[in-house]
Amino acid sequence: MDPAHSIIYVVDDDASIRESISDLLSSFDFQVVTFGSAAEYIAYGRSDSPACLILDVELPDINGLDLQGQISQGRHPPVVFVTGHGDIPASVRAMKAGAIDFLTKPFQEADLMQAVGAAIAKDVDSRRTRDELILLDQRLSLLTPREREVFPLVVSGLLNKQIAGELSISEVTTQIHRSKIMKKMQAESLAELVRFASVLAVPMTRSRRAK
């Protein structure tokens, strides 16, 4: 984790809390942007840098838990709740919705930094997965319709003979399709092609003619 290339968003209606958290995170070289309301945060443009959202539960315009639900389907960073209005039901709801942690004020600085670190790591991983999916989708688009038929059979472990029988084509043609799939998907091995298929959610299939 590189703090200088990470951004922490802090949403809290208490200016003193915003300042305190900002000072703490800035001392670790994090970039910090603070907001006094959910509306201010939502209106703010997103950055391409790994990020974390530190969120209060009680906000002037919307409940923090409701905001978490609203942004859960978008490209928003992982959430760490820091609140003076915490209770068990709220904590359970937040964690079930994917919050990294639910800290109550006053909190330990070490606990906040640990939660922020975990949130940044999760965001980095999510971004890496998303970028890989975009790249693999681009490669998948290069396959011909027939190659798209062969692809799931190959990653399911079927032999050329089985694939040929399944699609009523020759083994030589099957081998050509297999080679082109490997090349277009830029897979170094069958194992890597299988992993790509998993990322792309390519359905595995079994040959009806396999013995």
Higher model confidence: residue 36 or residue 205? Answer: 36
| pLDDT > 70 in the chain, percent | 96
Kindly state whether residues 67 and 108 are assigned to the same domain: yes
pLDDT the model gives residue 73: 74
Rounded Cα distance, 31 and 16, in Å = 18
Handedness of CA 184, 185, 189, 193 (dihedral sign): negative
Q: Tell me the mean pLDDT in the region 182-211.
A: 86
**Hey, which bits of the chain come out as E strands?**
7-11, 31-35, 51-55, 79-83, 101-104
DSSP state letters, 90-133: HHHHHHHTT-SEEEESS--HHHHHHHHHHHHHHHHHHHHHHHHH
- Quote the domain boundaries for residue 151: 142-199
pLDDT the model gives residue 211: 43
Has this prediction a pTM greater than 0.85? Answer: no
Structure-token pair, residue 124: 């980095």
Kindly state whether residues 195 and 116 are assigned to the same domain: no
CATH, residue 186: 1.10.10.10
pLDDT the model gives residue 3: 72
pLDDT band at 208 (very low <50, low <70, confident <90, very high): low
Kindly state whether residues 15 and 87 are assigned to the same domain: yes
CATH, residue 60: 3.40.50.2300
Helix/strand/coil for 7: strand
Kindly state whether residues 116 and 164 are assigned to the same domain: no
Q: Which helix (H) or strand (E) holds 193?
A: helix 190-199
Number of domains in the chain: 2
Could you tell me if residue 147 is inside a domain? yes
Kindly state whether residues 50 and 111 are assigned to the same domain: yes
| CB 11 within 8 Å of CB 35 | yes
Kindly state whether residues 79 and 147 are assigned to the same domain: no
**pLDDT tens digits, residue range 65-87?**
999 998 877 778 999 999 987 78
Rounded Cα distance, 142 and 148, in Å = 10
Could you tell me if residue 206 is inside a domain? no
Q: Tell me the mean pLDDT in the region 132-142.
A: 97
